[in-house]
Chain A
Amino acid sequence: MWKVFRKEEVKFAYWLLIPTLVVLILIIAYPIVDTFYLSLHRYYLTRPHFRPFIGFKNYLYFLQDEEFWASIKRTLYFMSVSVALELVFGILIALLLMQKVKGMGLLKTLIILPWAVPTIVNGAIWKWIYNADYGALNGLLYRLGIISKYKAWLADPFTALNFVIIADIWHTTPFVIIVMLAALTTVPDSLYEAAKIDGAGAVRRFFSVTLPLLTPAILVALVIRTVEAFRVFDIIYVITRGGPANGTQVIAYQAYLETFSYLHLGKGSALSFIISIFIMVLAVIYIKLLYNKVEY
């Protein structure tokens, strides 16, 4: 399996690539390797010159740390609930947007708005909506008679986590909708017509025609969203700062605290490296999906 390369073409390609590769090696490849190296050391920013090699002790520390496993559990919960709901809403709304009725063009434009709002502003919006004393959620439920007095929604750890998930779903579902819509528009109408003539009902048509054709797009959206949800940080920082009682402390937040609050750079590096490994595994799956798709 060897190709013949044209010398002049190869030279030109390398000239084009060198600036980018130098930058990427300096700011991505080297720091990743260095993070692993640091994770094998006891390293406190308060004592930068005392940096003994301790092997995998930082990793062993976390494996036995209850807080670590609690963070992992919260991260997995956040990830699975938000990604699952985003996919369901994304597919359903995309199907809605495919209907040819008046006003759909306007809705297609509006639907993208939550995605355009900056992540931090999104956090601020929902923090304000959830506010215990003056929030719109309290106001709405009170006026509708569902609650008789204002509630502190973010005071309970598990409720807080679920409310952060709602904020994340609002912000990122448009991405899933757009991906699904793009995939749906490539499905020829004749396929539906054929299924209709065969007597398949709407539900049957969805499961036997639409869903199989959407599968590649669903897988890709699934992997991208899973990666993003696994590394979630910004929205949690703004809405809850990991609280209450660590109830929303996901793995990225723990790594942030370990590194930049407690200044344990060695332990922080170990956590960061664990996150990187997990994401690289997902990235490999993602690339495989893309390459399989090209073949048909």
Chain B
Amino acid sequence: MGKKLGFKIFIYTMMIVVGFISLAPFLWLFISSISTNNDLLSVPTKFIPTHPTFHRYYELLFQSGKTESTKMFLVAMKNSLIVATLVTIITLTLASLAAYAFARLNFPGKTPIQLSILATRMLPALSTIIPLYIFAKRFGLIDTKFILIILYLTFTLPFAIWMMIGFLQTIPKELEEAAMIDGATRMQTLLKVVFPLAASGLTATAIFAFMLSWDEFFFALIFTSSYAAKTIPVAISEFTGRHLIDYGMMCTGGVVASIPPILLTMWFRNYIVKGLTSGAVKG
């Protein structure tokens, strides 16, 4: 009995340690965002704010004209939202069609094409960025949301195709066959039978495409320079790069930028887990 109790105490201690380490850094970001500047700049550090205040959130979201950096933040947020949404829609459309071909149909060249797409999933932006940069410069596409959307497809598409193949393979074939015997064309079967059944897979893929686009930094750093296309990661990196950093605003921006991916992750936890493990466990 004693041994069992000791083990339980050990497990609970480890749970607290792991839970604390997982939360503390982000919690500190949040605490910093609601601390007064006096608290932030006090030595030694005040871990509990003396006068917690949400005025930075108000300033950032509703008084965006006040300073150049808060103005940029809101515009960048909007740009990120537009880019990520359009990338998600295009990715989902192209990837679900392509994935169906790989998951269900037989055609010459299937395995080599599928494997090359799988391999490109791992390539960094550096592999393609220089020619794409020269291209964008020549055609005046630098600093546009349009070019960002195109660039983001380089990593969302391979990833999404791969995820969708996994999801489509889990759908029973019989329903498609039944629909086709009833006289439906292949396209009708795909749109009216397969995709509705794959709804959860499509959702998971959409969430990933959105989060990958929201998170992307390198392309945005190189290709954007103004209100026209700058995204949220670039805006935040600029907060951190100044000589006179407004730490409070940096933390507030960080919390706001993290809210969409954190909410998506918590709400769709099961989908996220499925997506992350689709390539790792199922193959």
Binding site for B on A (CB under 8 A): 3, 5-6, 8-10, 12-14, 16-17, 19-21, 23-24, 27-28, 30-32, 34-35, 38, 93, 96, 99, 101, 103-104, 107, 109-121, 123-129, 131, 133-136, 138-140, 142-143, 150, 170, 174-175, 178-179, 182-183, 186, 217, 220-221, 224, 227, 231, 233-234, 237-238, 241, 252, 255-256, 259-260, 265, 268-269, 271-273, 275-276, 279-280, 282-284, 286-287, 290-291, 293-294
Once the chains are docked, how many angstroms separate the CA of A13 from the CA of B236?
43
Which B residues touch A290, using CB under 8 A?
Answer: 279, 283
The answer, among B153, B239, B283, for a CB contact under 8 Å with A124, is B239
Is the beta-carbon distance between A269 and B283 smaller than 8 angstroms? no
Is the beta-carbon distance between A31 and B29 smaller than 8 angstroms? no
Which B residues touch A96, using CB under 8 A?
Answer: 11, 14-15, 18
User: Smallest Cβ distance from A238 to chain B, in angstroms?
Assistant: 5
- Chain B, range 94-120, C-beta contacts under 8 Å to A: 94-95, 97-98, 100-101, 105-108, 110, 113, 115, 117-120
- Contacts A28-B154, A114-B26 given; indicate if A13 touches B101 (C-beta within 8 A): yes
Stretch at the interface among B59-67, B129-137, B170-178, B196-204: B129-137
User: Smallest Cβ distance from B6 to chain A, in angstroms?
Assistant: 13
- Contacts A129-B28, A279-B123 given; indicate if A23 touches B153 (C-beta within 8 A): yes
- Tell me whether B250 is interfacial, beta carbon within 8 Å: yes
Chain B interface mostly helix, strand, loop or mixed?
Answer: helix
- Contacts A116-B258, A116-B261 given; indicate if A38 touches B281 (C-beta within 8 A): no
- Contacts A119-B217, A128-B32, A231-B124 given; indicate if A38 touches B130 (C-beta within 8 A): yes
Q: Which of A9, A124, A227 has its CB near the most chain B CB atoms (within 10 A)?
A: A124
Q: Size range of the interface on B? A: 35 or more
- Nearest CB in chain B to that of A2: its residue: B108
Is the beta-carbon distance between B127 and A35 smaller than 8 angstroms? yes
Known: A10-B107, A121-B29, A125-B25. 6 other contacts (CB 8 A): A20-B94, A35-B131, A109-B266, A139-B45, A272-B129, A276-B127
Is the beta-carbon distance between B107 and A13 smaller than 8 angstroms? yes
Chain A interface mostly helix, strand, loop or mixed?
Answer: helix
Top 5 nearest A-B pairs by Cβ distance?
A139-B45, A31-B128, A231-B124, A116-B265, A34-B131
Is the beta-carbon distance between A116 and B18 smaller than 8 angstroms? no
